[in-house]
Structure 1
Amino acid sequence: MRIHRTDVLVIGGGGAGSRAAIEAYDSGVDVTIICKGRHGLSGCTPNSASEWMAYGVALGIADPRDNCEMHFRDIVSIGGYVCDHNLARIIAYESPDRFRELVDWGVEFLREPDGRFKQVMSDGATYPRACGTGADTGRQIMDALKRQVEERGITVFENVMAVDLIVDGGVVVGAVGIDTESLELTAFTAGSTIMATGGHGCMYKYTVFPEGMTADGYAMALRAGAKLVNMEFMQIGPCVITPLKFDVGGILWRLGPRLINGLGEEFLERYLPEELTVKEVYNLKSVTFPFTMRNASGYIDIANFTEIAEGRASGNGGVYFDLSHVPASKIESEASIPFKYFLEHGVDIRRKPLEIAPSIQHMNGGILINERGETSLPGLYAAGEAAGGQHGADRPGGNSLADCQVFGARAGRYAAERASKRIVKPDLRKAEKIEDEVRRLLETDGSHSVSEVLKDVREMMWRNASVIRDEDSLSKTYSSLHRYRRIVQSDLSVDEDELVSALELRNMIDAGLAIVLAALTRRETRGSHYRTDYPKKDDENWLRLIEIQMANGDLK
């Protein structure tokens, strides 16, 4: 096993990880990024798309009444008051500085004819504060960050997946990584380690996440002993499932689509209470992309989910989102950004229906952090979607990109401060134990294939721990995940070509257990967490955050 020493190790090279690395480097320490794919091309930031991919920032341009305090209040209110208010306030008040930084680094946010930045309304915002470049805001931000990383000469290891954190005496001192092509192992030792691995979407059947988003950071942190928080809360929304991934929101709903199942039936109306019309629900959905029960837009996701789950899906497993009855000129003018984006990818929404399904779009919880980006484990920091506490049951649109930059910078700064004061000489036997675990997994000759278990886990998580949840289905899922965990430990058939997938499967199962346990524990409905057996919000008992920690292999 190779050894690579650095001051600050950043696990993940997306928007949060790259911003953390830049800040740490500028603080005067040696920095190393390990990136599961190609730096600048892999992960969520450069690979997510919607009709207006937003960076939320209170500039007060579109409406002078907007300010950082209003942004903070929106985060807390939309989050159902179950977030860390200090973290929420930091995002709101520091996102303008991080925004101006991105502008200086070359991100071309769209502007009005008078030169002011264009700001539009987004989910959960009181005033328009969503800035963007169109459908590709994340890619432009990632391009700018990559240039900054390259200009500084920061060391980047591409195609390296972190396997587990190295913990010595209760302190995180780095991680063991595996080259996903050669399978060579490296022990990366560091004074501080920043987890910026993104989210968990690939543990679900339907997701807008790119490949590789397999809950690695959550699982590694859990196994090392760190606390997770708010894992029951995630964004699930109507997304195109083929031939590309795309969040369906805003103007596309205001166009008045027809939702049609695989039997050719329009179905939404039969899911609505008598006092609601389809048009009213569409109008709500146009300003509430993710599934939530804080307003009636949630009926759309419940309807789509139920039609698919009960066997009335479209040809590719979703439902049809049809705009063919809408005048072509209206689509071209009022929905110009998504219309052009789809056309560039070979889809003409004027004539052909989209196939959509409730898909995992963002994890609102994560590794519990404080205002310095520190986790509950000394030496470990977290930022971006890997971190938790800054968002609650729902989050305002545009907060994810802002969060990545704000807490990426904070984690980088404070990780560098800590590393500059320490000389790390870890017991490398801790790394060798991780190496032994990888070898053991590779030598296992069990009766279950990786692909078989992975398919079962994804289907089960989507059916039982996404839109609709209840005690019975969650309990069965929890038991099943424990069974799959035992299979991974001793009865999995793994060859070299499947070793990385097996490691990812292990992570998805461990993180899945945390998600399901949190969902079982919260016996109420709040925002994105919908319990059919506890359909009402219960502030008296559940106006609090749920933390989960692993001890001796068991979750508490």
Structure 2
Amino acid sequence: MEEQRFSANGFSARLYSCNTAVVGTGAAGYNAADRLWQLGQRDILMVTENRLAGTSRNTGSDKQTYYKLTLSGGDGDSVREMAQTLFSGQCVDGDIALCEAALSTQCFLKLVELGVPFPRNRYGEYIGYKTDHDPRRRATSVGPYTSKQMTERLEQAVLDKGVPVLDHLQVIRVLSDGQRTYGLLCLNTAAAPKDRFVLIRCNNVVYATGGPAGMYADSVYPGGHYGATGLALEAGARGKNLTEWQYGLASVRPRWNVSGTYMQVLPRVYSTAPDGTDEREFLMDFFSSAAEMLSKLFLKGYQWPFDVRKVDGGSSIIDILVYLERCKGRRVYLDYRQNPVSGAFSYEELDPEAREYLQRAGACFGTPIQRLEHMNAPAVEFYRDKGVDLAVQPLEISLCAQHNNGGLAIDCWWQTHVEGLFAVGEVSASHGVYRPGGTALNAGQVGSTRAAQFIAARRTGQVPAEKFEAAAAAALTEMGTLARQVVTGSSNVRALWADAAQNMSRCGAAIRSSAEIRAYLDRTRQLLEEFPRRVTAADESELCWVYRLRDMLISQRVYLAAMVDYMEQGGKSRGSALYTDANGTKPYAQLPDAFTFALDDGTRGSRVQEVLYRDGACRFEWRDVRPIPEDDDFFENVWRSYRQTGNIG
């Protein structure tokens, strides 16, 4: 890694040069750096806005899942069968599904070797359990902090190797001509104004920035995670399956999924006015009996994501009722201190699935907190560690954005349409409409491994100097000029950010209305066009919010346009998105008309929506999914090819 200076049109930046820059210090980013080093690459560096932030290190659930090939018991499994499970999630490319299945064991066992304590029995089998959309028992976990422990172990491996990590660098431009990448322009958030900008000249960028979490106000992503998908779209990377998200109920402070036993212990659910008065168990306004309500609440535990297929007669009606209550301006809570409906319910009257589970768990007694302590004490300890004692205080919740199943389009080496720009982890679109729980952690490890393998074998060259200089000069001039324009002494940037996030949660989250999406889409277009004139910052310290807002608005612009295009192509409600449709049906008469919708019939599951964002406009293309490859598996042929090329390329 070399350090120099670069100047253009009165602006100056510190310049670093390397072969590969890894953006992001989550589990996928650290694994990319570690794999590159293992493959003999030394000219690498890591770039991060905040080394201790991010989703991998700061999120989880009651039992955060890692999904991999079955490694225990007598049940049959195979790479092809696991690939088929992933492929069946709709809008999934088969080559990516096959890679995620084939490398799942290698990546899982690497984490084991690094010290992540995945449980195994006395004979060494790594035991598993079924997760959602999982026909086998491929899931495993180390508890609420699975991804945190993965990140910490991978981080230590990278630091032990001496890979340089540049902290406090916020990427504000991906240098590209739309065809290939030449590096990055960053804002140093911890430096004096003269060292504000940092350029990184590199042949490869491994983009591990996570999903575009900052787009939503109602979000379970950790507060320090914003994403940077808009910058990659601006650089020419294509978006894929951008309409497909996962939403679910989560606590507001701290941000955490209230899945699994948090729901299965049957907490009391109530709402209040904003000032805490007028406490009401509002779910009972909808259900005919406590047993019916509690049975649906129980199912929310392992049917945690909002799923439009489970609205009519299923557990996702709970998500809608919470959403509607909050739309009234009320606050919604889970209460573990006392039983729902003043204890006026019978375990025997619950639906068989709930009744039998609680009976087998020996949890048909006491209060919700006593049941939770009995069934999953670490789930209680988690909140206590965060300053929330469930034994003495309620937990405020909301319907939140949790994971983007779409993202940047990639090939089977996780390279985007922009040569040299690789997208790994949640920022990449390796998933489709549905996915087994825990696949995101596996996908991040597999994708970063594949990217490292390709870079080490095929992309060890240098960036053309004249191409880099042209791209760097243009980006530095534009972003430097923007900084001069927006620092006025007054500030509206944070208010604009909050307003944009709230609008996205209102119209572009789990409940989607064509009219509202189109109206807000026009506002994002206008604000982006007028950005230098409309946005103001009080001083230099707010520039990070200026560039962050710009990236967020580009993301919103493209994601909202993708939703409009999906509806124009005849797309209906599917996955975690309910599209209001006057020609559909309303599952319950007492719901507002916005919940009139039609279920997608699955025929679009073999088609993928891709979008190219250029000059402020979105161009959409629909294509067939790539099938699961039928490769030559005759050993001698594969061995010969492997000796010659490593089968990379």
Tell me if TM exceeds 0.5.
Answer: yes
In 2, distance between residues paired with 1:221 and 1:504? 13
In 1, distance between residues paired with 2:375 and 2:231? 45
Partner of 1:229: 240
Q: Secondary structure at 2:511's aligned position in 1? A: coil
Which structure 2 residues correspond to residues 71-470 of structure 1 after superposition, within 5 A? 71-77=82-88, 79=89, 81-112=90-121, 115-168=124-177, 170-182=179-191, 184-216=196-228, 218-242=229-253, 244-262=254-272, 263-270=278-285, 277-295=292-310, 296-313=314-331, 318-322=332-336, 324-325=338-339, 326-327=366-367, 328-388=369-429, 390-422=430-462, 424-425=464-465, 426-445=467-486, 449-470=492-513
Change in Cα spacing, 1:307 to 1:10, as seen in structure 2 (3 Å) is same
In 1, distance between residues paired with 2:74 and 2:370? 30
In 1, distance between residues paired with 2:308 and 2:61? 22
The letter for the 2-side match of 1:435 is L
Change in Cα spacing, 1:544 to 1:272, as seen in structure 2 (3 Å) is farther
CA positional deviation for 1:448: 6.4
What are the superposed Cα offsets for residues 499-551 of structure 1, whole Å, 9 maximum, x if unpaired? 01110111111001121112222231111121022421143457522111112
What are the superposed Cα offsets for residues 31-86 of structure 1, whole Å, 9 maximum, x if unpaired? 11111112xx2211111121111111122426624544443333233x3x112122
- Find out whether 1:61 has 2:72 as its counterpart: yes
Change in Cα spacing, 1:550 to 1:3, as seen in structure 2 (3 Å) is same
Partner of 2:357: none
CA positional deviation for 1:102: 0.6
Partner of 1:535: 598
In 2, distance between residues paired with 1:337 and 1:508? 35
The letter for the 2-side match of 1:511 is S
What are the superposed Cα offsets for residues 461-518 of structure 1, whole Å, 9 maximum, x if unpaired? 1111112111111111211212322342322112311101110111111001121112
Change in Cα spacing, 1:418 to 1:174, as seen in structure 2 (3 Å) is farther
Q: Secondary structure at 2:56's aligned position in 1? A: coil
What are the superposed Cα offsets for residues 281-313 of structure 1, whole Å, 9 maximum, x if unpaired? 234322222211132232121111111112222
Q: CA RMSD in A?
A: 2.3
- Which residue of the other structure, out of 27, 34, 41, is the alignment partner of 2:47? 34
Change in Cα spacing, 1:350 to 1:160, as seen in structure 2 (3 Å) is same
Q: Secondary structure at 1:545's aligned position in 2? A: strand
Higher Rg of the two aligned structures: 2
The letter for the 1-side match of 2:226 is T
Q: Secondary structure at 1:520's aligned position in 2? A: helix
The letter for the 1-side match of 2:55 is C
**403-412 vs 174-183, which moves further:** 174-183
In 2, distance between residues paired with 1:267 and 1:228? 40
Confirm or deny: 8 A CA contact 1:56 1:401 kept in the other structure.
Answer: yes
In 1, distance between residues paired with 2:153 and 2:463? 33
CA positional deviation for 1:394: 2.6
Gaps of 5+ in 1: none
**167-176 vs 378-387, which moves further:** 167-176
Confirm or deny: 8 A CA contact 1:9 1:32 kept in the other structure.
Answer: yes
Confirm or deny: 8 A CA contact 1:448 1:491 kept in the other structure.
Answer: no
Confirm or deny: 8 A CA contact 2:558 2:613 kept in the other structure.
Answer: no
**205-214 vs 102-111, which moves further:** 205-214
CA positional deviation for 1:421: 4.1
Confirm or deny: 8 A CA contact 2:264 2:299 kept in the other structure.
Answer: no
CA positional deviation for 1:322: 4.3
Partner of 2:521: 478
In 2, distance between residues paired with 1:103 and 1:356? 34
CA positional deviation for 1:454: 0.6
**112-121 vs 468-477, which moves further:** 112-121
Q: What is the aligned length?
A: 545
The letter for the 2-side match of 1:549 is L
- Find out whether 1:24 has 2:39 as its counterpart: no
In 1, distance between residues paired with 2:201 and 2:463? 11
In 1, distance between residues paired with 2:334 and 2:223? 24
In 1, distance between residues paired with 2:402 and 2:74? 29
TM-score by length of 2: 0.79
Partner of 2:16: 4
What are the superposed Cα offsets for residues 248-277 of structure 1, whole Å, 9 maximum, x if unpaired? 111222212222121422233555699x93
In 1, distance between residues paired with 2:553 and 2:120? 44
Partner of 1:545: 608
Confirm or deny: 8 A CA contact 2:183 2:468 kept in the other structure.
Answer: no
CA positional deviation for 1:434: 1.3
In 2, distance between residues paired with 1:422 and 1:156? 21
Partner of 2:54: 43
TM-score by length of 1: 0.92
CA positional deviation for 1:233: 1.1
In 2, distance between residues paired with 1:460 and 1:537? 25
Q: Secondary structure at 2:388's aligned position in 1? A: coil
In 2, distance between residues paired with 1:452 and 1:169? 32
Confirm or deny: 8 A CA contact 1:233 1:392 kept in the other structure.
Answer: yes
Change in Cα spacing, 1:131 to 1:424, as seen in structure 2 (3 Å) is farther
Confirm or deny: 8 A CA contact 1:172 1:377 kept in the other structure.
Answer: yes
Q: Secondary structure at 1:294's aligned position in 2? A: helix
Change in Cα spacing, 1:541 to 1:332, as seen in structure 2 (3 Å) is closer
CA positional deviation for 1:405: 0.5
Change in Cα spacing, 1:323 to 1:236, as seen in structure 2 (3 Å) is farther
In 1, distance between residues paired with 2:603 and 2:116? 45
In 2, distance between residues paired with 1:240 and 1:301? 13
In 1, distance between residues paired with 2:238 and 2:288? 40
CA positional deviation for 1:115: 5.0
Change in Cα spacing, 1:305 to 1:158, as seen in structure 2 (3 Å) is same
Confirm or deny: 8 A CA contact 1:14 1:196 kept in the other structure.
Answer: yes
In 1, distance between residues paired with 2:93 and 2:285? 39
The letter for the 1-side match of 2:609 is I
In 2, distance between residues paired with 1:329 and 1:540? 47
What are the superposed Cα offsets for residues 94-148 of structure 1, whole Å, 9 maximum, x if unpaired? 1111000011111112344665434233222223322222111112111111111
Partner of 2:4: none
Change in Cα spacing, 1:271 to 1:463, as seen in structure 2 (3 Å) is farther
Identical residues among aligned pairs (%): 26
**112-121 vs 339-348, which moves further:** 112-121
The letter for the 1-side match of 2:26 is G
Confirm or deny: 8 A CA contact 2:71 2:127 kept in the other structure.
Answer: no
Q: Secondary structure at 1:501's aligned position in 2? A: helix
Confirm or deny: 8 A CA contact 2:218 2:505 kept in the other structure.
Answer: yes
**162-171 vs 252-261, which moves further:** 162-171
In 1, distance between residues paired with 2:286 and 2:513? 19
Q: Secondary structure at 1:127's aligned position in 2? A: coil
Change in Cα spacing, 1:448 to 1:180, as seen in structure 2 (3 Å) is closer
CA positional deviation for 1:170: 2.8
